[in-house]
Structure 1
Amino acid sequence: MRAFKNMSIPVNLALRGLALALRFALSFYIVKFLGLEAAGIYGLTLGVISSAPAILGWGLNYFVSRDIIGTSKESAGVEIRNRLIVTTITLAAVTALCLVCVLVADYPVRLLFVLVVLIVWMETYACDVHAPLISLEMPVLANVLFFIRSSLWIPFIIGAGVIYPQTRALEIMYTAWAVSYVLMALVFWRAVSGWPIAAIIRKPIRLDWLTQRLRSSWPIYISDLSNVGFVYIDRYLVSFYLGLTLTGVYTFYWSLTNAVQTLLLTAVVQVSLPKLFKAHAQDEMGEWRDVMRMQFLKIAVLSVVFGAGMLFASEILFRVMGMSELGEHRSVFILLLLASITRSCGDLLSVGLTSLRKDRYFVFLNLFSVFMSVVMVTALVPFFGLVGAGIAALTTAIAVAVVGAFSVIAHSRSKPR
């Protein structure tokens, strides 16, 4: 068992590396065969899908993930179940509201719209399960499930699109994406078949827990909203100022650079969370600082290595695939890559604040990040175009990382209460 746990980091790294390669290929496939406008639509809908778990989550995943660390599978299962009940009610209410708005506006319900709504439902459920699995020290299972839903379907879509031109459509791509969640659910059910499922189901719903957490989760909820705003709001501002085609260029580069950040988040940041929590809970601030220094050094080195690899591989593919129009915006790519490297370090600092239970500072950091993003994009894009968006991303990432570093250093010097 110990050997298996020691293998979690390389396994997670391998899974994220493969997912990175497939997402990398998908980005090139969309731009090459579907066009930059389709890439823009994909980027905007991806923002909706990726931000939905936070927008509809009420900040509960933060508490669930924290509360189940070190508990039994039955106790953890009950809290996850309670959390999923809230998710189901929220999704049903929001979907009904959206449907009413569409009908009132007499907006045509297209297949792409239906597929996006379906994926939003399944992605929200998946995220509600992913975070608790990390806290239960099951990162390999969490990342296998993530790989299935995020990347396993990609080679089939690319292969079909290359061989059969009539399959080159966003609707077909999103259908394959939706089907992947069915396989993910089957794998998850098989993996937790040893849990006391019957006992978990029989347990009464803890209304007191739900009420208490919903009352106290609003700062985390605001933080979650700020976090997704920081990550995705820039593409909507770029779309507003520059149009769908340049949004396609921006989101194409963003998807490449964000893949590096996501890989580091899973391979280093998420794995460090239980270690930091345990060190803080045991009143071992010296050990906490040692863990933080080691993890920060690791993510700093790996982010530079992965970033350089991404830049090198992209330059080769631009030339091989004859995508000269993307090469014209190379400076934007480099700026977004530097921003991604900086954000990766900032992610670890945010986890450090979380482990120190400095919830208010964590919320402030996320609010500050979205504020900086909106201000910088609004100030720079109208004057400098797409390059302005890249400068805004890098400037915001540096500012957030600096504020986060000062906060972590200040609070790690004091003893936990």
Structure 2
Amino acid sequence: MDMQLLIRLALRILALALKFALTIVLARSLGFAAVAGYGLALAVSVVSSKILGLGFSTEINRRLSLSDPTDAIREVGRLLLLYCVVYGAIAAVVAMLHGSSEFARIRPTILWGVVLVAFSEHAGLETTSYVFSLHRPRAGAMLLFVRTGAWAGVAIIGLLVHAVRSVEVIFMLWWTTNVITAITACWLIWRRSIEVGLVDADQSPRNLRGGRSVWIDGMPFFVATIMLSGLQYAERFIASGVMAADALGRYVFSWSISNAIQTIAYATIAVTAGPRLIRVLSVADGDFWRTLRSSVRSSACITIIAAAAILIVHKSIFRIAHEPAGGAEFMTLLTLLASFVLRSIADIYWCAAVALRLGMRVAIAVSVVASVSIPLEWLLVTRLGVVGAALAHLMASTVIVILLIVLVMRAHTVTVVGIENRSSLHVS
């Protein structure tokens, strides 16, 4: 591993540790009502970060990763303005619905804190991804750490010294950090625009339609992302209807621990693998397959090592949470760890599919997988309980990674053959 990769790995592990510690300190300092509010904001922010992309995110990041990102940088400004308009529209709707029964049980300060966290999380995620796509991994890694971990460290200190006395202050720290991160990322993008000579460049008419083409090219991946997110949680939703709350809570606990390995691999490998794969396709002498194999090996290596470490200390982790650590719990954890190892590999092949512009094929294939997987997952969960839920997750992960590998291999083979045929015709 190179030094930059190790730094990204260390920052991601530290960020996860700080977020985990914040939950514990928050519970002890402000009680579980505050934890419930924090959990609501966390869930809303995860969903909004995907939905508020509106289908633009994947394609604009692909274009920013090209060897010449000039047109894409121009589109970023328009896209960020569009997002701000959407935030304003949603805020207006929330304000109008504020007095309705759906929001009656939520305190106004909690409600608006969650809304601001959701908007700022999306803005921070989008702009940080732009920095990574512009091949600035060191700056991107620092921004990612600040918005996912550093603010939690400040919140923990505030709670311990009693400077933070409400969950609303936690929200304020959270969204303020995201805003600062987004502004910093925009400054870095502006600096890059100066490097490519865009600031004083003439705005040619041909670029005015760029936003529409970004949306059209990115929408299939947006649809596929929503469906994959659903498959990530499908067995949990099924289990919530057939399992006791206590059993479901134990499953979610094991799921959360296991998911950490995919999160680490994504922030360490996938965020830079995507831009690299796109760039090697945009240059004549790029080696796509070597870059892809290297990224897959790195992601698999990191997740397997992390999974092994979790298995070694899992009894201590379960003991801290006052959870049993018997054979069924170990089997559930082992199955979920294997599933998330596969998910981390799927993340790399997803990046390859984006680089190869396979959006429509991926969307169709994922929809077929979802239609077949959900009935099978229901059968596993209802017959085998918690272990069945873990097996359902593993089954979905296995099908997804196989699907992406097949699509990427077939598409790149066709691309290479086409290039070779054109080259031979040119020579003759």
Fold in common (TM above 0.5): yes
- 1:285-304 equivalence runs, <5 A: 287-304=287-304
Q: How many angstroms apart in 2 are the aligned matches of 1:279 and 1:73?
A: 14
Kept in 1: contact 2:258–2:307 (CA 8 A): yes
Confirm or deny that 1:364 pairs with 2:360.
no
Which residue of 4, 17, 38 maps to 1:21? 17
Q: What is the identity percentage for the equivalent residue pairs of Structure 1 and Structure 2?
A: 22
Which residue of 119, 122, 135 maps to 1:121? 119
Report the number of matched residues: 408
Q: Given the superposition, is the C-alpha separation of residues 98 and 387 from structure 1 closer, same or farther in structure 2, using an over 3 Å criterion?
A: farther
Q: How many angstroms apart in 1 are the aligned matches of 2:56 and 2:263?
A: 22
Q: Given the superposition, is the C-alpha separation of residues 34 and 341 from structure 1 closer, same or farther in structure 2, using an over 3 Å criterion?
A: farther
Range moving further from structure 2, 371-380 or 382-391: 371-380
Letter in 1 for 2:221: I
Q: How many angstroms apart in 1 are the aligned matches of 2:244 and 2:168?
A: 22
Q: Given the superposition, is the C-alpha separation of residues 351 and 195 from structure 1 closer, same or farther in structure 2, using an over 3 Å criterion?
A: closer
Confirm or deny that 1:264 pairs with 2:262.
no
Residues 187-212 of structure 1 show CA distances to partners (whole Å, capped at 9, x for unaligned) of 44665674568948996996522233
Residue segments in structure 2 that go unaligned for 5+ positions in a row: 419-428
- 1:87-126 equivalence runs, <5 A: 87-105=83-101, 107-108=103-104, 109-110=106-107, 111-126=109-124
Letter in 2 for 1:146: L
Residues 200-256 of structure 1 show CA distances to partners (whole Å, capped at 9, x for unaligned) of 899699652223333443322212222332334544444444466555444433332
Letter in 2 for 1:25: A
Q: How many angstroms apart in 1 are the aligned matches of 2:113 and 2:315?
A: 33
Q: Given the superposition, is the C-alpha separation of residues 127 and 186 from structure 1 closer, same or farther in structure 2, using an over 3 Å criterion?
A: closer
Letter in 2 for 1:259: A
Q: How many angstroms apart in 1 are the aligned matches of 2:160 and 2:236?
A: 28
Q: How many angstroms apart in 2 are the aligned matches of 1:301 and 1:60?
A: 32
> What SS does the corresponding residue of 1:324 show, helix, strand or coil?
coil
Q: Given the superposition, is the C-alpha separation of residues 83 and 193 from structure 1 closer, same or farther in structure 2, using an over 3 Å criterion?
A: closer
Residue segments in structure 1 that go unaligned for 5+ positions in a row: 1-5
Confirm or deny that 1:415 pairs with 2:411.
no
Q: How many angstroms apart in 1 are the aligned matches of 2:6 and 2:86?
A: 37
Q: How many angstroms apart in 2 are the aligned matches of 1:32 and 1:377?
A: 37
Range moving further from structure 2, 70-79 or 351-360: 70-79
Letter in 2 for 1:413: T
Q: How many angstroms apart in 1 are the aligned matches of 2:32 and 2:324?
A: 10
Q: How many angstroms apart in 1 are the aligned matches of 2:284 and 2:390?
A: 42
Letter in 1 for 2:127: V
Residues 87-126 of structure 1 show CA distances to partners (whole Å, capped at 9, x for unaligned) of 1222222333344444343632423322211111101111
Q: Which of 1 and 2 has greater Rg?
A: 2
Q: TM-score, normalised by structure 1?
A: 0.82
Q: How many angstroms apart in 1 are the aligned matches of 2:43 and 2:137?
A: 25
Residues 384-409 of structure 1 show CA distances to partners (whole Å, capped at 9, x for unaligned) of 33333212111111111122222222
Q: TM-score, normalised by structure 2?
A: 0.80
Residues 244-298 of structure 1 show CA distances to partners (whole Å, capped at 9, x for unaligned) of 655544443333222211211122222222332233334668x222222222222
Deviation at 1:381, TM superposition (A): 2.9
Kept in 2: contact 1:368–1:400 (CA 8 A): no
Confirm or deny that 1:384 pairs with 2:380.
no
Which residue pairs with 1:280 in the alignment? 281
Which residue pairs with 2:345 in the alignment? 345
Confirm or deny that 1:399 pairs with 2:399.
yes
- 1:77-96 equivalence runs, <5 A: 77-96=73-92
> What SS does the corresponding residue of 1:327 show, helix, strand or coil?
coil
Deviation at 1:305, TM superposition (A): 0.4
Confirm or deny that 1:66 pairs with 2:62.
yes
- 1:127-206 equivalence runs, <5 A: 127-159=125-157, 167=165, 171=168, 173-185=170-182, 187-188=184-185, 191=188, 194=191, 199=199
Letter in 1 for 2:281: H
